[in-house]
Structure 1
Amino acid sequence: MRKNLTKQRRRLLAGIICCLFGLTVGVWAYPLQLEDQFGRAVILERPPMRIVSGSPGNTEILFALGLADRIVGVTDWCDYPPAAQEKPKVGDIAPINIERVLALRPDLVLACNLNGKEAVENLTALGIPTFALNPVSFADLGEAIGLVGQLTGAQTAAAQLVAELEAALAALAPAREAAGAQPKVFIAIGIDLADLWTAGTGTFLDEAVTCLGWKNIAGGLGFSWGQISLEYILAENPESILTELDPEVFR
């Protein structure tokens, strides 16, 4: 179930661009110390050339920055871009398989919150530089891209990516203005009506629909990811439903 939810969240987000903080391009010398998004100080003695990605999001950042050749392992869930499917697999995300990671001899593991803090600490204790990315907002995502750029020496590519995303965000302004009265939308995540999940506040999807001028019907329910009843959905009567299910299911 979690695998399906993660893939659907990523696909629903594709094409919805966020406002990212600008990056400073500079020359970084090694050893390099940076604080990851778990608040941990991580030291790299040299530029990483064998990177294991612990999440689909991390994998996409690496590919977007032109670092595909440095990726030696990804999770079973990393299926985008298509070339990611050809990379060696380390198994599931939660928790990440430490033995499979070690077998690939990485000099950097890009972890995520689903990998588990214990796994992150264990990898670090085994001498593997492990840098955790945990973006929970678009601003955090911008920071994550910048951090990966700094870790790998790809600051220029990271800055270019941010510029492209900011330009795409600006192009969304007319859509927000045209939306006017904030039409309601339900974000449906799941594989059937009996097990529907949705995104609430503090999630990329909620921020994404807000950027488009829509109102998430789960935005005020006090959770980030949760389940709501069909009765609640019907009572809210959303104008639109974002889903990967067959639309006929909701008719």
Structure 2
Amino acid sequence: MTVAFLFALISNVYAEIRVVSLSPALTEIMFDLKLGDIIVGTSEYSDYPAAAKKIPRVGSYQQPDIEKIARLNPTHVVTNNDGSKKQLARPEVIGAPVVLIPLKTINDLYEALKKLGEQFRAVEESEKLIARSKSALNSMNPPEKRIKSVIAIDSNPLVGVGADSFVSELLSLCGFDNQLKAKGYPKLDREWLFVNQPEALIVLEKMGTEKSNSELSILPNTKVLKIDGEKLSRLSPAIILDLGDNCKNWRSKFE
């Protein structure tokens, strides 16, 4: 059996796999696993790495364009949104399995790497990334001083980031304790903010924009930490690997 024949055989196997990703985070993770070549369609905002921008768009993760997806003739559709899975789950719609891969916690990231690696023959790469990510987190020293915090998305009015978010989990590793115990992304109530008076209000800026937030005027003793939302918007190995340095930078504002 010649090397050329083996290469052709492997190429043919991978040529059969055509993936549509309905999640910018899953798109990034697949590129991390060196699986970018099998992605034939992506959702809006799948702009990292740069090569992802060249892949055809098929709507958003909340409103996928079923006709566009069907025309791409995918063998698999991956999503981290249960709503889009339900829209596409009927076999007669696109004729391909829809794989739901949650990305709500750090452990979900490890499971996503494992699942994608097994599904698309990238087990070795997934094991490496899982090991590197775990090593990066294990090397972090938990800060002794905890900072009472509220995390918000930059909007007017501010929208909170609940305790069940991976953003809350990551910032907790930096020593920022989320006072907002609600789940999801609730609107921040002015009275609640006034009563709780967090030490830190962490604002995730969207697309580098900055809005005027009326809520900030009622928090005279609260330090505002503005973070580029892109640094925490997608749960991926890159966010984990950069977390140690980012934590030091963010906490330096409170020393």
Cα distance in 1 between the residues matched to 2:62 and 2:52: 19
Q: Is the 8 A contact 1:95 1:114 kept in 2?
A: no
The residue that corresponds to 1:188 in the other structure is 152
1:199 has 2:161 as partner: yes
Amino acid at match of 1:223: K
Matched, 1:141 2:103: no
Structure 1 stretches lacking a partner, 5+ long: 1-45
**Partner of 2:58: helix, strand, or coil?**
coil
Q: In 2 relative to 1, CA 99–89 (structure 1 residues): closer, same or farther, beyond 3 Å? A: same
| Deviation of the 1:200 alpha carbon | 1.4
In structure 1, what residue type is equivalent to 2:104? V
- TM-score, scaled to structure 2: 0.70
Residues 51 and 126 of structure 1: is their aligned pair in 2 closer, same or farther, counting only changes over 3 Å?
A: closer
TM-score with structure 1 setting the length: 0.71
Percent identity over the alignment is 28
Higher relative contact order, chain-length normalized (CA < 8 Å, sep 6+): 1
Task: Give the letter for the 1:96 counterpart.
Answer: P
Greater Cα shift, 126-135 or 141-150: 126-135
Q: Which whole-Å CA distance do the structure 2 matches of 1:106 and 1:210 have between them? A: 39
SS for the counterpart of 1:116 is helix
> Residue 80 of structure 1 aligns to which amino acid in structure 2?
Y
Give 1:96 deviation, angstroms.
Answer: 1.6
5+ long unaligned stretches in structure 2: 1-12, 218-255
Does the residue aligned with 2:139 lie in a helix, a strand or coil?
Answer: helix
Return closer, same or farther for 1:152/1:110 CA change in 2, 3 Å cut-off: same
Which residue pairs with 2:74 in the alignment?
A: 106
Could you list the runs of 4 or more consecutive aligned residues of structure 1 that deviate by over 3 angstroms after TM superposition? Answer: 123-126, 245-251
Q: Find the counterpart in structure 2 of residue 228 from structure 1.
A: 188
Computed over aligned residues only, the root mean square deviation of the Cα atoms, in angstroms, reads: 2.2
Inter-partner Cα distance in structure 2 for 1:205 and 1:110: 22
Alignment partner of 1:96 is 2:64: yes
Q: Which position in structure 2 is the counterpart of 1:240? A: 200
Pairs within 5 Å for 1:35-74: 49-74=17-42
**Largest Rg, 1 or 2:** 2
Shift of 1:247: 8.4
Matching residue's letter, 1:203 = S
Task: Tell me if 1:210 matches 2:172.
Answer: yes
Q: CA deviation at 1:114?
A: 4.9
CA distance in 2 between counterparts of 1:123 and 1:138 reads: 31
